[in-house]
A and B are shown apart, each in its own frame.
Chain A
Amino acid sequence: EAQVTQNPRYLITVTGKKLTVTCSQNMNHEYMSWYRQDPGLGLRQIYYSMNVEVTDKGDVPEGYKVSRKEKRNFPLILESPSPNQTSLYFCASSSGQGAWNEAFFGQGTRLTVV
């Protein structure tokens, strides 16, 4: 089954404790992205990757890191989480430029930073 898998689905952590949210896709997609969703703000792109070792900033990259060492994985790293990073996070993958109709989203990760 084609899917994007995010883990964990829910996470409560404390300020400053480094964490990683994993994202893996089994469709051999080149393009992967991370978004955060906040009430009244919609989804905002954090980072995206167009291929292995190729990443670029989205609209809200501050406080986040990503890496793309393998095609299937695109982890999101919060080195020192803060309460303003409490949000719902989505990972997505797609097959190619302009082929966004093949975009697949993960189930989301609800992160709370206290």
Chain B
Amino acid sequence: AQTVTQSQPEMSVQEAETVTLSCTYDTSESNYYLFWYKQPPSRQMILVIRQEAYKQQNATENRFSVNFQKAAKSFSLKISDSQLGDTAMYFCAFIPGGYQKVTFGTGTKLQVIP
């Protein structure tokens, strides 16, 4: 069974600064996908970024980037130039290749301070 750990229940960052949210996972699978989802107060789940395990290059999406360390089973999310709209709960998620059995972390609540 897979496990996903987010060790930071809450974090805060000043507007325009950079923040990194951590995520570690444990699996015996060799092929898998990792995701970060954002959940603002509206409760809507929004995909932020994804990473395929077979790709060595770290994924980036505008101000969002990941640091994927496969050997260390680490998948952190970096948010640059933080904006007030980034205030949300962030979930790390794991899905093995060929399956739809998704495992989410417990979430990190991010507050962006003006």
Choice from B35, B103, B104 contacting A100 with Cβ under 8 Å: B35
B95 at the interface (CB under 8 A from A): yes
In the complex, the number of residue pairs spanning A and B with C-beta atoms less than 8 Å apart equals: 60
Cβ of A92 under 8 Å from chain B: yes
In the complex, what residues of B have CB within 8 A of residue A97's CB?
Answer: 97-100
Q: Give chain B's interface residue range (CB within 8 Å of chain A).
A: 20 to 34
Which interface residue of B33, B91, B100, B107 has the most chain A CB atoms within 10 A?
B100
Q: Is the interface of A mostly helix, strand, loop or mixed?
A: strand
**Residue from A33, A48, A101 whose CB has the most chain B CB atoms within 10 Å:** A101
A58 to B95, CA, bound (A): 12
Residue on A nearest B97 in the bound complex, by CB: A98
The number of chain A residues with a CB under 8 A from chain B is 26
Q: Which residues of A contact B52 (CB under 8 A)?
A: 98
Bound CA–CA A59/B91 (angstroms): 17
**Residues of B bordering A, CB below 8 Å:** 4, 6, 9, 33, 35, 43-45, 47, 50, 52, 91, 93, 95, 97-107
